[in-house]
Amino acid sequence: MSDMKDVRDSTHNSPKYHNEGHPLVTSKNLTNHGLDMTDVSLISDEDFEAINQRSKVDIGDIIFGMIGIIGNPVILDRDDFAIKNVALLKNGGEVDNTFLIQLPKSPVFDRYMRKENAGRNSKTLGAQSNTKFLIFDTNDGCAT
């Protein structure tokens, strides 16, 4: 996938939460119906800027859970938050995100995720797994 898209891993650090500040989206905020900001934690300006150095979200990007709750991909229609423990597929590149979002929603991706997590107590999908996930095997043309 990394040949076609800019694939990023969000922060795994746990910033201090505040009563005011910028939203920090995690996999718990991703649902089958989209982004749910009703129970979001807030972080400081400093933490927001630090996280965005690595994984700034933009409108049109795709995010999905990669620790604990894996999946629930969402195409973003806002960019006023930072992310933690989610995969980030930047908009642009060879494949449009409105098409690509169907992949992490598919049974093919579900099988891949189960295979990657076989024998593990806690579900994770590391950045290496995201970048190495093949859509088409160039050797035989089959989806993998």
* CATH for 81: 3.90.220.20
Residue 81 lies in a domain: yes
The domain of 89 spans 7-132
pLDDT, one tens digit per residue, over 28-74 is: 999 988 999 999 999 999 999 999 998 999 999 999 888 777 778 99
Residue 139 lies in a domain: no
> What pTM was estimated for this model as a whole?
0.77
Residue 60 lies in a domain: yes
Rounded CA gap, 58 and 19, in Å? 24
Residue 59 lies in a domain: yes
Residue 48 lies in a domain: yes
Residue 23's nearest CA partner among 66, 65, 83 is 83
Rounded CA gap, 77 and 123, in Å? 27
Residue 142 lies in a domain: no
**pLDDT score at 2:** 55
Say yes or no to pLDDT of 100 above 70: yes
First to last CA, the chain: 11
